[in-house]
Amino acid sequence: MKNRFFILFTIWTLLGAALIYAVAGADSNSSITSIVAMVVSVAPLFGLMFSLGSLKASQQFNAWLQKDKNSTFYIAGGIALLYALPGLILGTFNPYYTIIFTVILFAVFGTLKQLKNKIFVLSWTDIALWIVLWIPFDLRWYNEMQPNLDYTWWSIAISVIAIIGWYGYRTADIGFNLVPKLKDLYIAVLALLLIMLVVVPPGLLSGFLTFAIPETYDIPKLAAHFVGLFLTVALPEELFFRGILMRGLEKVSSKKWIPMVVSSLAFGLMHWNNVSGLSMQITYISLAAVAGFGYAWAYKKSGNNLLAAILVHTLVDWIWKLFLVG
């Protein structure tokens, strides 16, 4: 790996460490030991994810992945170490769950590496690995494996695993590029307006949404919340539902609208457990599916660039939390 990747990885890791320390330090219930454990386990993943968001840096990293026969051991072993670090630091290390997680990492990376010479289409192998990674994360099953790791760690870790697995080893053209272009911003704003016009009226009429304008605004807190939504909600969801699922379906479907509909319905169904009551569940699924179609439109309109979909997804969730109450 050449200097560009290492430079970006170092910069983003340090920025991630500062951000995580500031957020964790704001919690008066967090001890200095737990804060250190969180910083050392999350910051490298943060740095890895954002450095791979640069096209040239990712090309250097992916070239190393393909050439080095031991890259799987380094990557899987490194992520497994980051998983185990909080337990080692806090004295709650669980070797059983650590081995299970490590085996999952090697299985995912090893399998996708074997598919590197095949053109990316959504095969049954891709679907199986997608399920292995996404479903336990979405249902929070992974939380039981490591109580010292929260949703933030798992969302970033799952994203990094998917990026390295499909974008690196599988060489799938999912469009993971976090360097913004003016076109991406324009598309994100346009998609936001369209989604709001379609989703908000029925949401208000059904009682699922209500306006709630805050009396005051805490700008730093709002900015931190936006970053949090971008990193831990929009990015992993768009990566899995648009980058892998929808993009993979496009390679096997002659009808271009089918992948958009399927990925949007799957995205909507993912929200079933987020509310209680059949009517609210159906409403939430329907509205989320419509929003998912808007994210898919942004993804396609930008030339299959995930950043456009991630941005509009972040804006929708941010505005929902800011001005609307479910």
Q: What is the pLDDT of residues 141-180, one digit of tens each?
A: 887 887 778 899 999 999 999 999 999 999 999 999 999 8
Statement to judge: residues 17 and 160 lie in one domain: yes
Residue 207 domain flag: yes
- 227 plus 254 within the same structural domain: yes
Judgement on whether residues 64 and 92 belong to the same structural domain of the protein: yes
Band (pLDDT 50/70/90 cuts) for residue 294 is: very high
The answer to whether residues 188 and 159 belong to one domain is no
Let me know whether 157 and 47 are in one domain.
Answer: yes
Angle, alpha carbons 81-82-85 (nearest 5°): 80
Same domain, 135 and 15: yes
Same domain, 93 and 125: yes
pLDDT value for 254? 80
d(Cα 191, Cα 313) in Å, to the nearest integer?
A: 9
Task: Confirm whether 25 is domain-assigned.
Answer: yes
Report d(CA 260, CA 250) in Å as an integer: 9
Is residue 158 within 8 Å of residue 137, measured between CB atoms?
yes
Domain span holding position 121: 3-169
By the 8 A CB rule, do 313 and 233 touch? yes
- Global pTM reads 0.94
Residue 73 lies in a domain: yes
Q: Tell the residue number behind the tokens 């992520």, with chain if given.
A: 79
Instruction: Examine the domain organization and report whether 89 and 186 are in the same domain.
Output: no
Dihedral sign of CA atoms 109, 166, 184, 271 in order: negative
Find tokens 């996708």 and name the residue: 112
| Over residues 61-67, mean pLDDT | 92
Alpha carbon dihedral 26, 139, 204, 280, in 10-degree steps, equals -140
Do residues 25 and 159 share a domain? yes
What total of structural domains would you count in the chain? 2
Please count the residues of the chain: 326
Q: Examine residue 43 and state whether it is found in any structural domain, yes or no.
A: yes
User: Is residue 241, in this structure, part of any structural domain at all?
Assistant: yes
